[in-house]
Structure 1
């Protein structure tokens, strides 16, 4: 988690047993750094959209989420996690019956004695909508799904994908010495079939290479990945900015990703093709 800010989602609902979970700020941000919620709120106010941000900070926003229950907010900040103590599966009548018996003040159930209607999306239809008339009116051609096919890899390459690990939130906390001790490297996941074809064993040094860049790492042979795909956790092998012992090794994912971005959201392409060889 981010130690310098309160979670912008505020209070979360997690697990099969309803619970409140709260991420709280524990250190002051450095310099003029601001949390993203504050940036969006201030921009909205400058644009005359302040009515959509009727709270002053994360603490008051959390009170909105808790329906103004100050006692509950105080207890949650003290404990960080509060569980209701009984599972609630919204579409299971027996689970709902047990929950409402424990908490008679809960909202009324649906006609089928479930809370299925609570699972509706906040779209006009209450369902997943693939077409947006509002967006189409504002940006013609963008209100409907558009597919642009392009090759993610060449014939002789393997798919290269990445992901995050809980130890290193958003792939950024490898700079923290204690967390670096828990996870020091990001080995490349290689399927046993692919490893056999390449003569690679777990722990071997390997090269990943494509037209964008070249990275050296270590192999982790595992059936947890497809034969045509390689996987690594992001956040290692930093090439610029602050450097510590924790960032001078490992695979740097960005150095292997094509420089392609979405024209609207700016989202980068996270799948690329790479060749795999022993170092």
Structure 2
């Protein structure tokens, strides 16, 4: 028997109201606005307008349920980044978009790398931590594996300032994982790189462009798919499971919200 474990965050529009003022610009990557049309209200009105019938001709004078989503980024909630998100050229070739990725590439053997002992808010996770977390799983990384970083961020919600001050990945750390053969890189943090204010401050201090978004830019050297805002990694074993990252079928986009499901064989 197979047990399914949901690793996705809920795209709850209520979270938009909880975001601290300093991070309001990030609302569209947390949740969409949802306008709910209920069967006994606007859903009924929509149906009577379309069919030209009175409410009395509908069962219980109700129409259908319908919902309108607005202000939704393709990088909203738990989502998969296509290579195009990291640049127009990946490994010297035109970058692939979401609609170029076969589902088989997003259904992979998974490993949970528990880096919580080394994760520090706003800092890059050291390669030494990745090495030790891999060793703790009891197996080596294989070509095509999905590596899921458990940083401990899943305990925070958008109402918490800590949600936005997460541990991230450097370019060197990202290249280390792709160099081992990983083709899917996931994290329970809001984003893969260090927080934007941290990168900006480091760049302003040093003038070094390598401080800017180096974790994502590393994908240009070795293609991989990045998954952000994972949840419930505590429910998984270190290894021995399959995981699927199923995106909405959007044409030519740089990302898509996805339902992430782990499959555990009993």
* Bigger fraction of residues in helix: 2
Shorter chain as denominator, the TM-score bin is: under 0.3
Who wins on radius of gyration, i.e. which is larger? 1
TM norm structure 1: 0.24
* Bigger fraction of residues in strand: 2
TM norm structure 2: 0.24
Which gives a bigger RCO, structure 1 or 2 (Cα 8 Å, sep 6+)?
Answer: 2
